[in-house]
Amino acid sequence: MLNSDMHQSSLAGRVSSRLKVNSRWGTLEVLFWVLAVASWAFLPDEHLILTEVVGYAVLALSIDLILGYAGIVTLGQAAMYGVGAYASGIFSIYVTGEPLSGLVVAALAGATLALLTSFLLLRGADLTRLMVTLGVAAVLSEIANQAGWLTGGADGLQGITIEPLFGRFEFDIYGHTGYAYSLAVLFVLFILARLLVSSPFGYSLKAIRDNPLRASAVGIPVKARLVVIYTIAGAYAGIAGALFTQTQQFISLDALSFQKSADGLMVLVIGGTGYLYGGLIGALVYKLIQDGLSSLTPQYWQFWVGILLVAFVLIGRDRPRTVVQFASTWVTRLNATRPARSAKGKSS
């Protein structure tokens, strides 16, 4: 009995120490956010495109939570994105244009849709999940198209007016306020996601992703955990849609299209799944590639984006290194060589 108690105590201590280690901020993480904040001051002419990057990053973060950590394959995250976008826009027209309230409404709309459709999602394997998520997004897109009296239909939802943030900072056409606002929202969402995946709940999601049967055998409520993380990811996607609506003050049926989900998946292909930072850095790389290629070859830029994505997949198959993995490996090797250099200097 005593040995059993000691074993459980030591196991709890190891889990606690592991959580503390994972909650620490590394040098690259601090540098990433310092550069992100500095970009607002030193890149004022790029705030519009950087705002789009942040929107893609939030959407990719949503997909990463369910794909990278829970192993749920989806092609319909645009459903929650679009519902959040339209909910925020309609709320601003008929209730109030206060941006933070619109974010809350969008998060609730995305989470509600995810919760209602999660039970369909859990009834099949990967192929069934792909078709269900794709079908949900297609159905909602047609509903939005037919309900023109509310959504604007094919013409898009117009007349959206967003009030100044905190009553002081207006959303200007240059994107200065929009970028700072979006970046702050991204940081808060990232902190929450980081705490989530570093918690015992996050570790249980990884166990489910790796082997659902084994996770169920050790007492993890698999279906309940998947419903919870899918609902949270839906809230994140809804917020991503609201950020687009509030910064652009316009929303169209493209928000519910398959292309929106495909963009989020392509961002993760570039940055890598299961890292959180993969979606953030992948969003920046993808948007820069998209903008650069569309400027060089306006007619064929999608072709070259496709070629680059195929190259990413082929390289990743033989050498599973993405942008985030390469940077982490480089910093780890650099830190490992420092003690050896210092020891060599002392011996000499």
Return the pLDDT at 181: 92
Q: Please, are residues 280 and 32 in contact by the beta-carbon 8 Å criterion? A: yes
- The whole-number average pLDDT for the span 318-346 is 51
**pLDDT surpasses 70 at 142:** yes
pLDDT at 304: 80
Are 59 and 81 spatial neighbours (Cβ–Cβ below 8 Å)?
Answer: yes
Which has the closest alpha carbon to 229: 211, 256, 255, 209?
209
**pLDDT (0 to 100) of residue 4:** 43
| Highest mean pLDDT of the ranges 167-176, 180-189, 311-320 | 180-189
Split at pLDDT 50, 70, 90, the class of 323 is low
For the chain, give the percent of residues with pLDDT over 90: 24
Kindly tell me the number of DSSP H helices and DSSP E strands found in the chain: 15, 0
* Per-residue pLDDT, 148: 83
The maximal CA–CA distance of the chain, rounded, in angstroms, is 80
Mean pLDDT of 38-56: 89
Q: pLDDT band for position 15 (50/70/90)?
A: very low
pLDDT: is 224 or 316 the higher one?
Answer: 224
Instruction: Give residue 241's pLDDT.
Output: 92
pLDDT at 336 (0 to 100):
57
For the residues 211-229, what does the mean pLDDT come to? 87
Contacts of 125 (CB under 8 A, 6+ apart): none
* Mean pLDDT rounded to a whole number for the chain: 80
pLDDT tens per residue, range 78-112: 899 999 999 999 999 888 889 999 999 999 999 99
Predicted model pTM:
0.83
Supply the pLDDT for residue 109: 94
Helix residue ranges, H only, 198-322: 200-210, 212-217, 222-248, 258-271, 277-296, 301-318
pLDDT of residue 218: 86
Q: How many CB atoms lie within 10 A of CB 7?
A: 10
pLDDT at 308 > cutoff 50: yes
In this structure, of 58-62, 146-150, 196-200, 309-313, the range with the lowest mean pLDDT score is 309-313
Least confident window among 102-116, 136-150, 308-322, 323-337 = 323-337
At 270-299, the pLDDT tens digits run 887 878 888 888 888 888 888 887 777 777
pLDDT score, position 88: 92
